[in-house]
Amino acid sequence: MAIKSLTSLSLLLLLTITVLFSSSSAHNITRILSKHPKFSIFNSLLSSTNLAKKINHRNSITVLAVSNASIGGLIGLSPKIQRRILSVHVILDYFDREKLQNLKSHSTIVTTLFQTSGIAEGRTGFLNVTKFANGRIAFGSAASEAHLVAKLVGQIVARPYNISVLHISSIIDPPGIDGPHHNNTPPSPLPPAPTKADAKAPPPAAEAPVIKPIAPVIDAPVTEPVPADAPAKDSSKVEPPKGAEDDKVKSSAGRVAIRTGIGAFMGVALIAL
């Protein structure tokens, strides 16, 4: 009987410890921020982008919250870009104010939730946490050409090694985080490579001047070409063309007839007088 009572007591104690451990380790970022009205916009964006669920399912996590007065730059962005930027504000490790003040190195690189998305390029999924000599803590993207843009304002909630919620002064927007990650639009086709025919094709020739044909000389005698091996004829011995003598005789006879007619006409005129 005593053994059964001891066993029951042990089981009850184990169950109690389990419940207490679960209660202490569980957290709800929406409920935490709902107690701080000046973070209502940040809290609403965590819920609308489904990041609140991811935060609630992780342990040893730090949330960098931005107040309503400093979150204006996120309002007009698309939900996709809002999710990317907000996931940079979730550090996958526990950092409360005390732990930050005890950092040994001047700058520390920490991993954010955006790094687990699979679309982080370069070092956009990491943050640079810097502690200055005066104790001031600043945050910025670890991406190239990024700067420290936010400073630690205060601690909102600290549950050691479970969840820490810190208040920072402004949004951390890594350069290039709003770029076309995994864009499904095909790239513009490259121009076709030149073929051999295109490479050897000569440049277009300039227009040749239009040469007007020379008008043929009227009545010019056509001289047949002389063969190359035939000796040239003496131009002084060229015979007149056939029929030239007949034309000459006819021309002389015509002149005689005209003169005879004129003489007869004059004779008749004198007789009449």
Distance CA 150, CA 124 (A): 16
Q: What is the pLDDT of residue 126?
A: 98
Distance CA 181, CA 149 (A): 24
- Which residues, listed in sequence order, are joined to residue 108 by a DSSP beta bridge? 129
Q: Is the pLDDT of residue 116 over 50?
A: yes
**pLDDT averaged over the chain?**
75
Give residue-wise pLDDT tens across range 6-16.
555 555 555 55
54, two tokens: 């991811």
- Nearest Cα neighbor of 165 from 57, 28, 24 is 28
Q: Which residues, at least 6 apart from 140, have a Cβ–Cβ distance to it below 8 Å?
A: 127, 128, 130, 146, 147, 148, 149, 150, 172
User: Within 10 A of 128 (CB to CB), how many other CB atoms are there?
Assistant: 19
pLDDT bracket for residue 60 (50, 70, 90): very high
Give residue-wise pLDDT tens across range 199-246.
455 555 545 445 454 444 444 444 444 444 444 444 444 444 444 444
Place of tokens 């931005």: 66
Distance CA 65, CA 89 (A): 7
Q: What is the pLDDT of residue 78?
A: 96
Region 63-77: what's the mean pLDDT?
A: 95
Q: Which residues, at least 6 apart from 161, have a Cβ–Cβ distance to it below 8 Å?
A: 59, 60, 94
Contact 152, 165 (CB under 8 A): no
For 31-67, the three-class secondary structure string (H helix, E strand, C coil) is HHHHCCHHHHHHHHHHHHCCHHHHHHCCCCEEEEEEC
Size of the chain, expressed as the number of residues it contains: 273
pLDDT bracket for residue 104 (50, 70, 90): confident
Distance CA 35, CA 37 (A): 6
First-last CA distance in the chain: 199
Domain definitions of the chain by residue range:
26-168
Region 169-180: what's the mean pLDDT?
A: 89
Cα 136 to chain centroid distance, Å, stands at 41
Is CATH 2.30.180.10 correct for 26-168? Answer: yes
Q: Percent of the chain scored above 70 by pLDDT? A: 56
**Range from 12-21, 59-68, 82-91 carrying the lowest mean pLDDT:** 12-21
Distance CA 46, CA 87 (A): 9
Tell me whether strands 137-141 and 148-159 are parallel, antiparallel or unpaired.
antiparallel
Distance CA 157, CA 132 (A): 23
Of the CA atoms within 13 Å of residue 11, those in its CB half-sphere come to 6
- Nearest Cα neighbor of 93 from 120, 113, 107 is 113
Give residue-wise pLDDT tens across range 29-42.
999 999 999 999 99
Can you list the alpha helix ranges (DSSP code H) found in 35-173? Answer: 40-48, 51-56, 72-75, 79-87, 97-101
Residue 89's SS3 state is coil
265, two tokens: 């006409």
104, two tokens: 């040994």
Q: Which amino acid is at 13?
A: L
